[in-house]
Amino acid sequence: MKELELKYGCNPNQKPARVFVDDGDLPITVLNGRPGYINLLDALNGWQLVKELKEATGLPAATSFKHVSPAGAAVGTPLSDTLRKIYFTDGVELTPLASAYARARGADRMSSFGDFISLSDECDEATALLIKKEVSDGIIAPGYSEKALEILKAKKNGNYCIVQIDPSYVPPATEVKQVFGVKFEQGHNFLKIDESCLTNIVTKNKSLSEDDKRNLVIALITLKYTQSNSVCYVKDGQAIGIGAGQQSRVHCTRLAGQKADNWWLRQSPKVLSLEFVDGIRRADRDNAIDVYIGEEYEDVLAEGKWQAIFKTKPSVFTREEKKEWLSKNTGVAVGSDAFFPFGDNIERARKSGVTVVAQPGGSVRDDQVIETADKYNMVMCFNGIRLFHH
């Protein structure tokens, strides 16, 4: 099939809409539902991301995409009991692929609401059971087990979008897009990211563990498919904070750092001990947790709104308590799709537990950035690779 008609483009008024190829057949087959224009942008970007994560790490990979940027991305390492709890994996015996999706979805649950999922491997029953519980628009994978397909086809009253991709497909060397009637052409970004990108260590501390290397590679591959400017924090094989599409790099660093902080705060004893009213929906529970760890929770208490959420009145999570808990997070990696122009990015990253950094280098203030990293005994690699994506 060379062409697939879409319901509409980015918006309902943008008709007609289709995806097509000039030569050969489309590398995708729609098994269920009707994908939209943005769905397929998410699907095709996400597929490239997980395919490259699998190639780089040898582990099954998953990503949760929203509006052409990942909300989360991960490889299939085992989950701790705490992560199983905050990712709501109860009742599912996790396979490596299911663990990857639980991590990808759970990093930033608010942003992942209504995601498009990409999987590196055939979707198995365990992964489908996790997806069944979540609000999601669709999925792309190289295949589906019979049971997984049955589970997924039942979502959204039978309208859940299920796409299968040919894993052997290789895109043309040149890609073309059109904006305002003007055609743009460039070479496809076939750049391979692996541990060889991490050899130019410019800081005094040059000790990178195998986990550090894997986390930095995951950060860089994630950034390759994230709308620029972008910064990505990674820990234990999963992105824990992604700052996408910001005009200022330090705003990317702050946004991603705040998401990483929220991920860590969700694991605090105060959050884990929260008791919710019976029957609360998953999305409402996620939002309530974000409110609880945010500055506005005192307003919720003052206005007496807590009864609709919690069984008992939780005490305020004070700024001092949050600071103390955040100080326990360490071993975090951060990657940037372009150079850090000032040391303030390093200062902000340190507050979220960052100990290793990968960035292209090339700023006129590289010396200042290196000096800031040295101040905190960080390891920083200059990979010389810009990863802009638009």
Per the CB < 8 A criterion, the answer to whether 69 and 46 are in contact is: no
Burial 30-42 (b: 16+ CB within 10 A, else e): bbbbebbbbbbbb
Helix (H) or strand (E) holding 62: strand 61-66
CB 42 within 8 A of CB 225: no
**Largest Cα span, the chain:** 63
Catalytic positions, written as ranges: 66-67, 229, 390
SS3 13: coil
Are 332 and 233 a contacting pair, CB within 8 Å? yes
What is the Cα–Cα distance from 382 to 362, expressed in whole angstroms?
9
198 and 380 in contact (C-beta within 8 Å)?
no
Q: Which residues of 79-102 are buried (b: 16+ CB within 10 A; e: fewer)?
A: beeebbebbbbeebebbbbbbbbb
Instruction: Measure the CA–CA gap between 222 and 335, rounded to whole angstroms.
Output: 9
Calpha distance 302→268 (Å, rounded):
23
Is the link from the previous residue into 172 a cis peptide, with omega within 30 of 0? Answer: no
Q: Which residue, among 107, 110, 106, has the nearest Cα to 130 in the 3D structure?
A: 106
Residue whose structure tokens are 């069944």: 132
Crossing angle between the packed helical segments 210-224 and 37-57, to the nearest 10 degrees: 160
Does residue 373 contact residue 346 with C-beta atoms inside 8 Å?
yes
